[in-house]
């Protein structure tokens, strides 16, 4: 997915369908007529069509609501630029109301029958049928039209018809867009899959809605949200001031997971990192980078003694630890010590049958960040359903922790409902060990003193940035060497 904005910078606010409708109404009450907003929207769509497909016939498919009104305006501007435009309306013209009826009245090019023959010979299709508000299956006649258009480039208005704006979920038969033109602010479906994949390149147009009309509870993740909390070493810094992280390791054959997490914590800014492992695993954990310390302290008593050192600020538990009572006991020790915790992988699955105990531990520790992938999430919260944003918020509210629901569209949610959706992670992150690196990044940021929510958001973004910069052939180890550049990018 590629995001573009007609303004100076992409605004971070993500609005639900209802919140966007409220912004429209506020703009109208503030003195901007609805038809002016519609004219601006349709003009932006026409410009996108001309930029992507500058010649050939344009088939404009319009629906019965304001999305269709945008389509009528786009058709008029395209015709003014000399384009051959064919327009079909799903529904009756006399049923149009409000600004959509006014936009239709300004269109003088005629309305053709809703028939797949409209697509024959077209070079590009404009999908202005339903937009973000449809929450039912696509009608059969719309599906037939979309089937006829599947081999053509499509520019969608707001969202491809059949994609639900608040969740990104899609009806059967959605026509994938090469580009989607949306207005004022993004909606969840622009950044949550599968909507994000179906929308293609997303172009955000300023249509005249004032910025103060925006009220949302989710944000697009980006460095502007948390850059000021990134701690930079100065003349007063020393390793303990920068933060000491303990990463708990598992058996020798799983040493790679904890080592990746520990290295990532060190790279991300922790002043020192200690791997707490069992005595018989020491040899497996000793190696590069040589700055990592290794201590025989994996068992509860030894771990308790290690973290009793008041200079230990954060702990990462779970990567390669094994599932079961031993891992649970380590989590209990770390939580009761009042540390800032990242619980990942086996540390999460070890509580799959006792989320109440996990919630109690989240209240005991100074702060907890949970980082489940989809399988771990289902094991912990089998009753929580819905899109990733809804699920992450529900899990954060239930546990009192910051929840990082990992996936191609990772969501970070706090218990107060605040959330960020990440959009910079490439598909190459689907590789063994990348989640261990993410856990370590967040642990390192927690150790430097970042707030838990912003540490999680920053960690997810840095993880994606390091992966994107590497390109193809990525393995988890490559993320470690990419972290310094990612941190530099975040600060610029």
Six token digits for residue 408: 């191609």
Q: Mean per-residue pLDDT for 424-436?
A: 97
| 310 has a pLDDT exceeding 60 | yes
pLDDT for 213 equals 76
| 293 has a pLDDT exceeding 80 | yes
What is the spatial distance between Cα 363 and Cα 357, in angstroms, rounded to a whole number? 10
From the list 147, 150, 174, the residue with the least C-alpha distance to 162 is 174
Across 6-20, 260-274, 359-373, 416-430, least confident range: 6-20
pLDDT interval class at 217 (50, 70, 90) = confident
pLDDT for 231 equals 82
pLDDT for 218 equals 95
| 11 has a pLDDT exceeding 80 | yes
pLDDT in tens, 74-89: 999 999 999 999 999 9
3-class SS at 458? helix
What is the spatial distance between Cα 174 and Cα 154, in angstroms, rounded to a whole number? 11
3-class SS at 462? helix
| 107 has a pLDDT exceeding 70 | yes
Six token digits for residue 456: 């999680």
pLDDT for 325 equals 96
What is the spatial distance between Cα 81 and Cα 104, in angstroms, rounded to a whole number? 18
Q: Mean per-residue pLDDT for 24-39?
A: 96
Higher pLDDT, 182 or 214: 182
| 234 has a pLDDT exceeding 80 | no
pLDDT interval class at 214 (50, 70, 90) = confident
pLDDT for 5 equals 58
From the list 110, 190, 191, 124, the residue with the least C-alpha distance to 425 is 191
What is the spatial distance between Cα 316 and Cα 440, in angstroms, rounded to a whole number? 7
pLDDT for 7 equals 57
Say what angle helices 66-80 and 98-105 make with each other, to 10 degrees: 20
Q: Note the Cα 141 to chain centre separation in Å.
A: 34
pLDDT interval class at 6 (50, 70, 90) = low
Strands, sheet with 201-205, edge to edge from the N-terminal-most edge strand: 3-5, 201-205, 179-183, 154-157, 124-128, 58-62, 85-89
State percent of the chain over pLDDT 70: 98
From the list 225, 218, 227, 196, the residue with the least C-alpha distance to 486 is 227
Six token digits for residue 210: 């004032």
45's CB contacts (< 8 A; 6+ apart) are 70, 71, 73, 74, 126, 128, 155, 157, 181
Fold of 3-216: Rossmann fold (3.40.50)
Strands, sheet with 218-220, edge to edge from the N-terminal-most edge strand: 13-14, 218-220, 419-421, 411-413, 402-405, 367-370, 340-343, 312-317, 244-248, 272-277, 293-296
Cα separations in angstroms, 344 against 154, 181, 380: 41, 38, 12
Q: Mean per-residue pLDDT for 356-366?
A: 98
What is the spatial distance between Cα 463 and Cα 265, in angstroms, rounded to a whole number? 12
Cα four-point dihedral sign 18, 23, 28, 33: negative
pLDDT for 233 equals 74
- Homologous superfamily of 223-491: Ribokinase (3.40.1190.20)
β-pairing, 419-421 vs 411-413, is antiparallel
Higher pLDDT, 449 or 214: 449
pLDDT for 235 equals 64
pLDDT interval class at 230 (50, 70, 90) = very high
Q: Mean per-residue pLDDT for 356-383?
A: 98
From the list 321, 170, 193, the residue with the least C-alpha distance to 258 is 321
pLDDT, the chain, mean = 95
Say what angle helices 66-80 and 34-52 make with each other, to 10 degrees: 50
pTM over 0.75? The answer is: yes
Q: Mean per-residue pLDDT for 453-474?
A: 97
Q: Tokens 């990746």 — which residue?
A: 260
| 3 has a pLDDT exceeding 90 | no
Q: List phi, psi (to 5°) of 106.
A: -80, -10
| 238 has a pLDDT exceeding 80 | no
Cis, peptide link before residue 455, omega less than 30° from 0:
no
Where in the chain are the domains? 3-216, 223-491
Q: Note the Cα 322 to chain centre separation in Å.
A: 29
Six token digits for residue 298: 């994996």
pLDDT in tens, 113-126: 999 999 999 999 99
pLDDT interval class at 72 (50, 70, 90) = very high
Is the Cβ–Cβ distance between 129 and 114 less than 8 Å? Answer: no
DSSP-derived secondary structure for 265-308: HHHTT-SEEEEEE-GGGHHHH--SSTT-EEEE--SHHHHHHHHT
| 460 has a pLDDT exceeding 70 | yes
State percent of the chain over pLDDT 90: 90
């Amino acid at each position: 997915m590629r995001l573009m904005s007609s303004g100076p910078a992409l605004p971070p606010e993500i609005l639900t369908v209802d919140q966007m409708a409220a912004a429209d109404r506020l703009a109208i009450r503030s003195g901007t007529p609805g038809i002016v907003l519609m004219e601006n929207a349709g003009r932006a769509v026409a410009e996108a069509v001309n930029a992507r497909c500058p010649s050939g016939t344009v088939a404009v498919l319009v629906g019965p609501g304001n999305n269709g009104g945008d389509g009528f305006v786009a058709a008029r501007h395209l015709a003014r630029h000399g384009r051959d435009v064919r327009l079909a309306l799903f529904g009756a013209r006399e049923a149009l109301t409000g600004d959509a009826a006014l936009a239709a009245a300004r269109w003088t090019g005629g309305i053709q029958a809703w028939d797949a023959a409209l697509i024959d010979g077209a070079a590009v299709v404009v999908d202005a049928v339903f937009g973000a508000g449809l929450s039912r299956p696509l009608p059969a006649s719309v599906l037939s039209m979309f089937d006829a258009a599947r081999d053509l480039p499509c520019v969608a208005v707001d969202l491809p018809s059949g994609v639900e704006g608040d969740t990104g979920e899609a009806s059967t038969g959605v026509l994938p867009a090469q580009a989607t033109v949306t207005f004022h602010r993004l909606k969840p479906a622009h950044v949550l899959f599968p909507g994000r994949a179906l929308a293609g390149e997303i172009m955000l147009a300023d249509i005249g809605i004032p910025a103060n009309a925006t009220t949302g509870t989710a944000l697009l993740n980006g460095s502007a949200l948390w850059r000021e909390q990134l701690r930079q070493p100065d003349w007063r810094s020393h390793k303990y001031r920068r933060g000491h992280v303990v990463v708990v390791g598992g058996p020798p054959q799983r040493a790679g997971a904890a080592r990746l997490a520990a290295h990532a914590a060190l790279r991300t800014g922790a002043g020192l990192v200690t791997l707490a492992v069992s005595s018989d695993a020491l040899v497996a954990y000793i190696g590069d980078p040589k700055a990592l310390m290794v201590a025989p302290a994996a068992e509860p008593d030894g771990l308790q003694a290690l973290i009793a050192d008041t200079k230990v600020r954060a702990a990462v538990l779970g990567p390669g630890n094994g599932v079961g009572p031993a891992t649970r006991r380590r989590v209990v020790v770390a939580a009761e010590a009042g540390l800032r915790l990242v619980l990942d992988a086996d540390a999460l699955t070890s509580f799959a049958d006792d989320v109440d105990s996990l919630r109690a531990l989240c209240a005991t520790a100074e702060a907890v960040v949970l980082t489940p992938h989809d399988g771990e999430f289902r094991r912990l919260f089998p009753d929580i359903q819905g899109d990733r944003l809804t699920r992450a918020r529900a899990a954060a509210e239930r546990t009192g922790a910051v929840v990082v629901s990992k996936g191609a569209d990772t969501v970070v949610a706090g218990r107060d409902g605040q959330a960020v959706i990440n959009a910079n992670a490439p598909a190459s992150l689907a590789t063994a060990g990348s989640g261990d690196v993410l856990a370590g990044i967040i642990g390192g940021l927690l150790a430097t003193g970042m707030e838990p929510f912003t540490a999680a958001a920053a960690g997810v973004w840095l993880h994606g940035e390091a992966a994107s910069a590497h390109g193809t052939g990525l393995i988890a180890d490559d993320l470690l060497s990419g972290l310094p550049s990612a941190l530099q990018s975040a600060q610029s």
